[in-house]
A and B are shown apart, each in its own frame.
Chain A
């Protein structure tokens, strides 16, 4: 079993004719993902790597029923793209686009919640269930199938953690990037709930960083006893200065909550070992698996 997507998930790619969208559509298909159609306004009738392109989600799903969408459109178009997907009854929406205005993200989140769909991101690497399905931009060669769930805020730091696991022979069930922004569609707790129900996931790695309070919330959730599988964590930004925005919008420490120290403390109090360096994650997992 996997969480969120599987081998049979029919995926449309919004923004498929762009530089990123076209390359990533090909890489996802080569990985085994069922890409059924692409969407770019004004490009209906074209194909990208043999994938038919439509003007809108509505037009695409008339010909190609789909369960999920992955969005690569430029930030100013992301709100409209996401709402189109929801309107098209798409249940799972992965938004890769970075630097979407936060007011647009709030609207997307509210709209998606009302429709009962799930949005992953924005500013996310997406989802990979190794050797089965990849709805994201992550390099497939660093992942291998197995029983550890990974959930991360940072895309590339997630690759580093998964790469360490893979190299040590520890495969992954599903890896989810919740996204680097201040507000995202799902949080660590949401993903933990999915991992709780997934028989193939035996342990979970949380990859956090400074800013936001999603790590603290995850710690509270684990502490409450609702999550019953072993968890380990890594937190980036121990040396990051306060009040400085470190790249994407999520990584800014503005109050006492949100510092690396507060996250490490909260996780440890919930009984979650927090490693100091990424490579130490493999040793901890060998102990707790």
Chain B
């Protein structure tokens, strides 16, 4: 989960990383009030959990209070990748003698945390990597140890800093690694790290992404942040612990596994249909869980047919079949449905579904089920 910038900065500040003076606001009046006690000019940042905000008019500098109010007003309600901006971060704009880049992230291929630092702050690190890779200093860290202070200092001394700012930058880098480890981050990034003309250092831009699977041990984070998902169905799915992504099409998809669900989507497209969603049941199907999945998929008003593609491996298919049969028996199914089940206990599951009058596919090929559901969907709503 990517935190909003003001949430990231709140954590950075608490961990001893200096951030510019600022306040988060949700109206233009509040923006003006906040800026009133600050030194001009002011930088305004629309808060959205997406990258590349500088390029999309989401980061602007205002020279006076009227401009602050107007800019905040323009930003509130802005749509960024489907996310509606409801907060603006109002900060003192710090003139920079230097803009640097610092981050800690995970190198998936190596299976290790990696520290990245560059003299080229303020731009996307991907662009630096593509255009001048020699300007990026990187160091892998053993996940069983941590970033040592001497290493932080060595890295900081390689990115074009003068002797006075090296201790400050290396302390910030060391603390950034502490944040990464303590908060189960997948990305902890400062871009830019501003060095002022008086050699003070500030994290002017901050990104912190927390591992969703570790949120259970960070109540302090999950309790105090704004909701990320704004889509009502996605919100409800998240509460039920269901991996669900809403899409543009009209065929509801349920798969017992992400790869299988994606393949089901691909095949629906292959036969001329369009998926209304991605849904992965995960490995913990119960009667109730499969009914929750069906409910979620049918909540999307665009859904006119559903394909449930299930394998009995870790998931108990007899329970799944009972759940689906009950759902259909209680007339909770709003649209026609096709169920494909294979694997452990497949025959018992087929039997339960057949007795409940559920349309089933018994072949191993998802192609067969996808063809059928596309046919159903092209007949239009019943």
Verify if A125 is at the interface (C-beta below 8 Å from B). Answer: yes
Verify if B203 is at the interface (C-beta below 8 Å from A). Answer: no
Q: Is the CB of A157 within 8 A of B257?
A: yes
Contact of B313 among A99, A156, A167, A279 (CB under 8 A): A156
- Residues of A214-231 at the interface with B, using a CB-CB cut-off of 8 Å, are 214, 217
Contact of B364 among A20, A107, A163, A243 (CB under 8 A): A163
7 tightest Cβ-Cβ pairs between the two chains A and B: A154-B259, A247-B258, A247-B280, A139-B343, A156-B257, A157-B259, A101-B214
| Known A103-B143, A141-B343; contact A247-B257, beta-carbon cutoff 8 A | yes
Verify if B144 is at the interface (C-beta below 8 Å from A). Answer: yes
Minimal beta-carbon separation of B115 from chain A (angstroms): 14
User: In the bound complex, how far is the Cα of B271 from the Cα of A239, in angstroms?
Assistant: 13
Q: Is the CB of B212 within 8 A of A249?
A: yes
Known: A75-B213, A99-B213. 6 other contacts (CB 8 A): A140-B344, A141-B343, A154-B258, A157-B263, A213-B109, A236-B260
Q: Is the CB of A102 within 8 A of B213?
A: yes
Q: Is the CB of A160 within 8 A of B314?
A: no
- Residues of A94-131 at the interface with B, using a CB-CB cut-off of 8 Å, are 96, 98-103, 105-107, 109-111, 125
- Residues of B47-99 at the interface with A, using a CB-CB cut-off of 8 Å, are 81
Minimal beta-carbon separation of A98 from chain B (angstroms): 6
Minimal beta-carbon separation of B314 from chain A (angstroms): 4
Q: Which label, helix, strand, loop or mixed, suits the secondary structure of the B interface? A: mixed
Contact of B144 among A111, A141, A159, A244 (CB under 8 A): A111
Minimal beta-carbon separation of A194 from chain B (angstroms): 18
Verify if A251 is at the interface (C-beta below 8 Å from B). Answer: yes
Interface size on B, residues (CB 8 A): 55
Residues of A within 8 A of B350 (CB): none
User: In the bound complex, how far is the Cα of B257 from the Cα of A36, in angstroms?
Assistant: 30
Q: Is the CB of B263 within 8 A of A110?
A: no
Verify if B236 is at the interface (C-beta below 8 Å from A). Answer: no
| Known A141-B344, A157-B257, A159-B311; contact A241-B245, beta-carbon cutoff 8 A | yes
Verify if B220 is at the interface (C-beta below 8 Å from A). Answer: no
| Known A76-B216, A102-B186, A154-B257; contact A236-B314, beta-carbon cutoff 8 A | no
Contact of B344 among A109, A139, A180 (CB under 8 A): A139
| Known A138-B313, A139-B312; contact A109-B245, beta-carbon cutoff 8 A | no
Q: Is the CB of B344 within 8 A of A160?
A: no
Contact of A278 among B106, B181, B245, B365 (CB under 8 A): B365
Q: Is the CB of B214 within 8 A of A237?
A: no
Binding site for B on A (CB under 8 A): 20, 23-24, 27, 75-76, 96, 98-103, 105-107, 109-111, 125, 137-142, 152-160, 163-164, 167, 180, 182-183, 187, 207, 209-210, 212-214, 217, 236-241, 243-251, 255, 276-279
Residues of B within 8 A of A125 (CB): 313-314
Verify if B252 is at the interface (C-beta below 8 Å from A). Answer: no
Verify if B269 is at the interface (C-beta below 8 Å from A). Answer: yes
Contact of A246 among B143, B261, B312 (CB under 8 A): B261
A-B residue pairs in contact (CB < 8 Å), sample of 15: A101-B211, A101-B217, A102-B214, A106-B113, A107-B143, A125-B314, A141-B344, A155-B257, A160-B260, A207-B259, A213-B108, A237-B259, A237-B262, A239-B269, A278-B365
Minimal beta-carbon separation of A10 from chain B (angstroms): 23
| Known A27-B344, A107-B143, A139-B311; contact A156-B213, beta-carbon cutoff 8 A | no
Q: Is the CB of A164 within 8 A of B364?
A: yes
Binding site for A on B (CB under 8 A): 81, 106, 108-109, 111-113, 126, 142-144, 181, 184, 186, 211-214, 216-217, 243, 245, 247, 255-263, 265-267, 269-270, 275, 278, 280, 282-283, 311-314, 316, 342-344, 346, 364-367
Contact of B143 among A109, A182, A213, A217 (CB under 8 A): A109
Q: Is the CB of B106 within 8 A of A182?
A: yes
The residue among B108, B316, B367 with the most chain A CB atoms within 10 A of its own CB is B108
Q: Is the CB of B184 within 8 A of A180?
A: no
Residues of B within 8 A of A156 (CB): 255-257, 259-260, 311, 313
| Known A139-B312, A279-B365; contact A209-B278, beta-carbon cutoff 8 A | no
Q: Is the CB of A239 within 8 A of B106?
A: no
User: In the bound complex, how far is the Cα of B360 from the Cα of A150, in angstroms?
Assistant: 28
The residue among A20, A109, A157, A212 with the most chain B CB atoms within 10 A of its own CB is A157
User: In the bound complex, how far is the Cα of B265 from the Cα of A236, in angstroms?
Assistant: 9
Residues of B within 8 A of A278 (CB): 263, 365-367
